[in-house]
Amino acid sequence: MKAQMKRRLIPLNVQRALGRSGIILCLVVVLTVPAKGVAQESDDAAASFRAAAEQGVAEAQFNLGMAYHRGTGAPQDYAEAAQWFRAAAEQGHVKAQYDLGMMYANGEGIAQDHAEAVQWYRAAAEQGYALAQTNLGAMYALGQGVQEDHAEAFRWYRAAAQQGDAFAQANLGAMYGLGEGVQEDYAEAAQWYRAAAKQGNASAQVSLGALYKAGAGVPQDYVEAYAWMSTAAAQGRGYASLVKGNLKVLRREMTRSQVRTAKNLAREYQEKYVSQGAPDRQALDSPRQHEHREPSAVRSLPLRKLGPLPENESSPYIETISTSISLNTEDYGARFVITLKATQRLPRGAYLEVHFPDPANPTNSVVIGEVWQGATPEVTLMSPKLKGLKCWNYEVIVYIYRAGSRDKLLGTHHQIIQSKVNRDKARDAMALLMAMSNANCP
């Protein structure tokens, strides 16, 4: 029987993670489910454990701590729980070490102390306890109680993932996707997301769907993308609203036959992979929870060498007049700029939904909208400031709707913008300007 610890959520710092050179759904989870103890529901549970606990029996001390923590057979008392967890933990009881780390991380019954949490997580992790390994990895990834170290985070996530912990598997997939602590590898990211997704981890299901949607690490497959995202949506807890826009885009991109196949596959996956029982373990501090940002259909097409651009897909309603990349030499931010011209077929009041690529996250896009009023035939649209620019062919997609209600799609317009700048090699403003002029690409 699992007891849910009182949770303390710290505001997400999504931009910190996504502003780097990483990609794909990143999920750093600090677990808040304490280890299992012996379940005794009778009123004398505490008394039955106390005699042995006071004689120094570690298992009894742990179970007495659980009784106080859950308020089962004893008044709920976190301070008393922490005291007995400590007594057992100091004798090497692995679950007590883990739960004591949890209490320090949450500040339950004792003052919050991330360094102490790391100490006890480590003690349990070194004994091979998967939950502690996952949490220790998260502490390294977050830099809480220990210096931030993605290589160490990766090491501990991998240890837990290999034992089958779904949250560690999802986090490991995220680190492969971001290239943090390990070389970026979409195929490995997909492998670990899939392992977690098949255990019912909804975040991993969204992530795997995003990879299929973008064709990153797996062949692009809208049917699979739809099935995995629908499976996550069936789990509720905010996932339905998260993937709603993506499912709509996928339906729009598929044929009727593909949509039927995708829905059938989604039902099959939901029967197999919707988590039964307790909801996902929540995060204490999750600055990289990608599920708060919706991936879209925008692709990033790698440049093997500079040369002819891939073909654009034009629409009869608009045409591209010019494209450019505006660079800020102070913070190295970049903005994609596209100037479009309306043809005579574009109705006044049409809504242009522009999906700009996010260089730091190829499965994500930045969306802006513009209502064409017909006053001038041309309109210039600019993305927000973005980071992580590389030598790539970036694709901008414009969805053209009859009106702002977006109830009728007229068509799509695809435009490739070629970047000749590798931001990773331009460490100052002068180098950035030289990169622009010299085509600093492979």
The tens digit of pLDDT for each residue in 211-240 reads: 998 888 999 999 999 999 999 999 876 778
Least confident of 77-81, 126-130, 197-201, 290-294: 290-294
Question: What is the residue type of 314?
Answer: S
Q: Which residues contact 68 (CB under 8 A, 6 or more apart)?
A: 46, 74, 75, 76, 77, 78, 80, 81, 84
In the predicted structure, residue 95 carries a pLDDT above the cut 90: yes
Residues 332 and 425 reside in one and the same domain: yes
Mean pLDDT of 101-120: 93
Domain membership of residue 270 (yes or no) is yes
pLDDT at 409 (0 to 100): 82
In the predicted structure, residue 130 carries a pLDDT above the cut 70: yes
Residues 103 and 244 reside in one and the same domain: no
Mean pLDDT of 369-377: 77
pLDDT at 14 (0 to 100): 23
Residues 328 and 419 reside in one and the same domain: yes
Least confident of 47-56, 159-168, 364-373: 364-373
In the predicted structure, residue 388 carries a pLDDT above the cut 60: yes
Q: Give the angle 373-374-375 at the CA atoms, nearest 5°.
A: 95
pLDDT at 121 (0 to 100): 96
Rounded CA separation 238/440 (Å): 43
Rounded CA separation 364/298 (Å): 7
pLDDT tens string 410-438: 888 888 887 766 555 444 444 444 444 44
13 or 308: whose pLDDT is higher? 308
300 or 208: whose pLDDT is higher? 208
Mean pLDDT of 96-113: 93
* Last residue in a domain, options 295, 327, 352: 295
Residues 261 and 373 reside in one and the same domain: no
pLDDT at 195 (0 to 100): 96
Rounded CA separation 37/194 (Å): 31
Residues 137 and 111 reside in one and the same domain: yes
The SS3 call for residue 187 is helix
pLDDT tens string 25-61: 434 444 445 565 544 444 566 777 888 999 999 999 9
Residues 11 and 160 reside in one and the same domain: yes
Question: pTM value?
Answer: 0.59
pLDDT at 341 (0 to 100): 87
Are 160 and 133 contacting, i.e. CB atoms less than 8 angstroms apart?
yes
Domain membership of residue 197 (yes or no) is no
Instruction: Give bridge partners of residue 340 from the DSSP assignment.
Output: 320, 379
- Strand segments, DSSP code E, in 106-234 are none
Are 369 and 354 contacting, i.e. CB atoms less than 8 angstroms apart?
yes
* Last residue in a domain, options 295, 327, 353: 295
Residues 356 and 261 reside in one and the same domain: no
Mean pLDDT of 101-110: 91
Domain membership of residue 312 (yes or no) is yes
What is the average pLDDT score of the chain? Answer: 76
HEC assignment per residue over 66-94? HHHHHCCCCCCCHHHHHHHHHHHHCCCCH
In the predicted structure, residue 337 carries a pLDDT above the cut 50: yes
Residues 35 and 174 reside in one and the same domain: yes
Element (H, E) at 382: strand 378-382
CATH number at residue 384: 2.60.40.10
Residues 117 and 257 reside in one and the same domain: no
Determine the distance from the C-alpha atom of residue 426 to the mean position of all C-alpha atoms in its chain, rounded to a whole number. Answer: 28
Residues 113 and 217 reside in one and the same domain: no
Indicate the number of domains in the chain. Answer: 3
Residues 255 and 310 reside in one and the same domain: no
280 or 49: whose pLDDT is higher? 49
CATH number at residue 103: 1.25.40.10
Q: How many helices (H) and strands (E) does the chain have?
A: 15, 8
Domain membership of residue 380 (yes or no) is yes
Are 29 and 308 contacting, i.e. CB atoms less than 8 angstroms apart?
no
Domain membership of residue 189 (yes or no) is no
Domain membership of residue 216 (yes or no) is yes
Domain membership of residue 396 (yes or no) is yes
Domain membership of residue 190 (yes or no) is no
Percent over 90 (pLDDT), the chain: 37
Residues 151 and 5 reside in one and the same domain: yes
* Last residue in a domain, options 262, 295, 328: 295
Structure tokens, 165: 């912990």
Q: How many CA atoms lie within 13 A of 194 on its CB side?
A: 12
Please give the DSSP secondary-structure letter assigned to residue 435. H
pLDDT at 43 (0 to 100): 52
Domain ranges, residue 346 = 300-438
Rounded CA separation 120/112 (Å): 13
